[in-house]
Every structure is written in structure tokens, then in C-alpha cells.
Chain A
Amino acid sequence: MAGKPKLHYFNGRGKMESVRWLLAAAGVEFEEELLETREQYEKLLQDGALMFQQVPMVEIDGMKLVQTRAILNYIAATHNLYGRDLKERALIDMYVEGTTDLMQLIMMFPFLSDEDKEKQCALIVQKATNRYFPAYEKVLRDHGQEYLVGNQFSWADVHLFEAILMVEEKKYDVLSEFPQLQMLKARISNMPRIKKFLEPGSQRKPIPDDKYVETVRRVLQMYYNVKASV
């Protein structure tokens, strides 16, 4: 009964990774119950712990929160990472929705067929460099501040940082035309809590591998093929 948030998910990134990042950025210690077997999942279902029968689920402040955005919104708001007023919150929401869309393309990647993987990789890089990164580059250039919103560190910065690292795993020099983003990345990397999360041994999860895919498929009985994005 630690009082620490408890995360229920597979031992991998998926939809829970953004939650891990945000908790780490907020300096919040958390526990994890890693789903490895179908039986564990069925137990959660039987116990009525999963509102819509899905994970992620996070036990926090007496609630069993599900739905990634609901979880992230709550953590951001309770740890002063959601801006000072409604307008800042609106900007943070817009920016986070953009990085969510980008990371969603990457998230489905391990579940694609080999031939779709190649197409998807090209799509990810194309969207990152033509749609998403230019938007954030412009935001930073236009206001000349160190963070995306309100001249203070917020959820939007953490989420963008996570997205940048993810795209770099596909194309390491993807930020070559984005000097503002390079500087943001360096700044965020050096923040003590982020630095700690980036070190080996943290609860950050590695790039999904075949074992992760197999576990997810087996636990969720998700044996259909995920189609690549349009």
C-alpha cells in the first residue's frame, strides 16, 4: 500500500510508455505490474478492474484509471505540467494530440507485416519531417522561448521529446533540418529527472521486439494482422 501509482501493462512501450515518461518527468515513483500471461489479463477482467476491458490501466489516488489520454491528463494536471490557464491548456492539448498521432504510426509498426513495415517507416519519416516537426519548430522559432508553451516546462515538451527519440530510432538524423528542435532536445535531455529516465536501469522500455509482439498477441488474443496506415 505504497501510495505510488501502479501501472498495469505489458513489459514494453505501447500506449503506456507516454505515461511512464510523464510520471518520470514529474518526478513520481511508480510501480508496474507487467502482463505476461493470458491468465493475468483474465483476472483483471474478472475483478472488474478494466472499465472497457482494456489496458493501460493505472491505479492512482484511489482510482483505476483507463484510457491513455484520461490518465495522462490527470497526471499532467496534478503535477503542474498542464499550463496555467485554459488557453495554455488548449495549446498543450493541440501539441500533444499532434505528437500522439505521430507516435501512433510508430506504435503499430511492430505489428505490421514485413512489407508493410518498410512502407510505414517511410511514412513515419515523411510525416515527421513534413507535418509534425515543422509545426513545433515554428512554435519555438516564433516565440523564441525554451519550452513549447507559456515559457515553462509542460507535458507538451515531454511528449515531443519522446516522439523525437522514437523517430530518431527510425532515422537517426531526422532533426538535421530542425535546429530549434535540436536545442529543445538537448535542453530536455539535461533536465535531472529526464536524464535519470534516459539512463539504463530506469523503467523506460526498449524498442519493441518479437517477444513483445508475441506476448501482446497471446495475452489479448489479437491474432489478426494490423493494417498499415493510409
Chain B
Amino acid sequence: MSGKPKLHYVNGRGRMESIRWLLAAAGVEFEEQFIETKEDLEKLLSDGLLLFQQVPMVEIDGMKMVQTRAILSYIAAKYNLYGKDLKERALIDMYVEGTTDLMGIIMYLPFQPPEAKEKNLALITDKATTRYFPVYEKVLKDQGQDYLVGNHFTWADVHLLEAILMVEEYKSDILSKFPLLQAFKGRISNIPTIKKFLQPGSQRKPPPDEKYIAQVKQIFNI
């Protein structure tokens, strides 16, 4: 009964990774219970712990929260990473929805048939460099501030950093035309809680490998 949030998911990134990032950024320690077999998932289901029969699920403040966005919004608001008023919140929501869409494409990549991989890689590069990164580059340029919203660190900054790092795993020089995002990346990476999360041994999960993909397919009948 530690009082720490407890994350229920497979031992990999998927939809839970953004939650790990946000908790880490907020300096919140958390526990994880990994679903390793179908039986593990079936137990969560039969115990009635998953409102819509799905994970992620996070036990936090007496609630068993499901639905990634709901969980992230709650954590952001609780730890003051959601802006100071409704207009800042609207901006954060818009920016986060953009990075969610981008990371959403990447999340499905390992589950695509091999023939689709090349095409999808091109799609990610294209979307990142023509739709998403230019927007955030422009926001930073127009405001001349260190953070995306309200001149202070918010969920939007964490989420964008996570997205940048993910895309860089596919194309290391993806930020070559985005000098302000490069500076942003450096700055956010140096925030102590973020720096800690980026170090080996943290609860950050590695990119999905064959073993992870096979496990997910088996547990969730994909």
C-alpha cells in the first residue's frame, strides 16, 4: 500500500509509454505490474478492473483509470503540467493531440506486415517533417520562449520530446531542418527529472523488438 501509482501493461512502450514519461517528468515514483501471459490479462478482466476490458490501466488516487488520454489529463492537471488557465489548456491539448497522432503512426509500425514497413517509414518521415515538426518549430519561433505554452514547462513539452526521440530512432537526423526543436530537445533533456528518466536503469522502455511484438500478439489475440 505504497500510495504510488501502479501501472498495468505489458513490458514495453505501447500506449503506456507517454504515461511513464509524464509521471517521470512530474517527479512521481510509480510501480508497474507487467502483463506477461494471457492468464495475467484474463485475471484483470475477471476481477472487473478494466472498465472497457482494455489496458493501459493505472491505479491512482483510489481510482482504476483506463483510457490513455484520461490518465494523462489527470496526471497533467494534478501535477501542474496542464497550463494555468483554459486557454493554455486548449493549446496544450492541441499540441498533444498532434504528437499523439504522430506517435500513433509509429506505434503501429512494428505490427504491420513487412511489405508495408518501407512505406510506413516514409510516411512517418513525411508527416514528421511536413505536418508536425514545422508547427512546433513555428510555435517556438513565434514566441521566442523556452517552452511551447505559457513560458513554463508543461505536458506539451514532455510529449513533444518523447515524439522527437521516437522519430529519431527511425531517422537520426530528422531534426536537421529544425534548429529550434534541436535546442528545445537539448533543453528539455536537461531538466533533472527528464535527465534521470533518460538514463539506463530508469523505467523508460526500449523500442519494441521481435520478442515484445510476439508477446503482445499472443496476449491480445492479434
Name A's B-contacting residues (CB within 8 A): 51-53, 61, 63, 65-70, 73-74, 77-78, 86-87, 89-90, 93-94, 96-98, 101, 131-132, 135, 230
Q: A67-B94, A86-B78, A98-B51 are in contact. Are A93 and B131 (CB under 8 A)?
A: no
Residues of A within 8 Å of B94, CB to CB, are 51, 65-67, 70
Count B-side interface residues using an 8 Å CB cutoff: 28
Measured CB to CB, the nearest residue on chain B to A70 is: B93
| 27 A–B contacts, CB within 8 A, in A order | A51-B94, A51-B135, A52-B101, A52-B135, A53-B131, A66-B94, A67-B94, A67-B97, A68-B97, A70-B93, A70-B97, A73-B90, A74-B90, A86-B74, A86-B77, A86-B78, A89-B73, A89-B74, A89-B77, A90-B65, A93-B70, A93-B74, A94-B70, A96-B70, A97-B67, A98-B67, A101-B52
**Contact with A51, one of B63, B65, B69, B98 (Cβ below 8 angstroms):** B98
Assess the A90–B74 pair: CB atoms within 8 A. Answer: yes
How far does the alpha carbon of A87 sit from the alpha carbon of B135 in the complex, in Å?
A: 32
Name B's A-contacting residues (CB within 8 A): 51-53, 61, 63, 65-70, 73-74, 77-78, 86-87, 89-90, 93-94, 97-98, 101, 131-132, 135, 222
Residues of A within 8 Å of B90, CB to CB, are 63, 65, 70, 73-74
Assess the A90–B63 pair: CB atoms within 8 A. Answer: yes
Q: Is the interface of A mostly helix, strand, loop or mixed?
A: helix
Chain A proximity of B137: nearest CB distance (Å): 13
Chain B proximity of A60: nearest CB distance (Å): 9
Assess the B65–A94 pair: CB atoms within 8 A. Answer: yes
- Residue of B61, B73, B78 with highest tally of chain A CB at under 10 A: B73
How far does the alpha carbon of A230 sit from the alpha carbon of B216 in the complex, in Å?
A: 15
Chain B proximity of A175: nearest CB distance (Å): 18
Residues of A within 8 Å of B73, CB to CB, are 89-90, 93
Chain A proximity of B24: nearest CB distance (Å): 20
Measured CB to CB, the nearest residue on chain A to B53 is: A131
Residues of B within 8 Å of A94, CB to CB, are 51, 65-67, 70
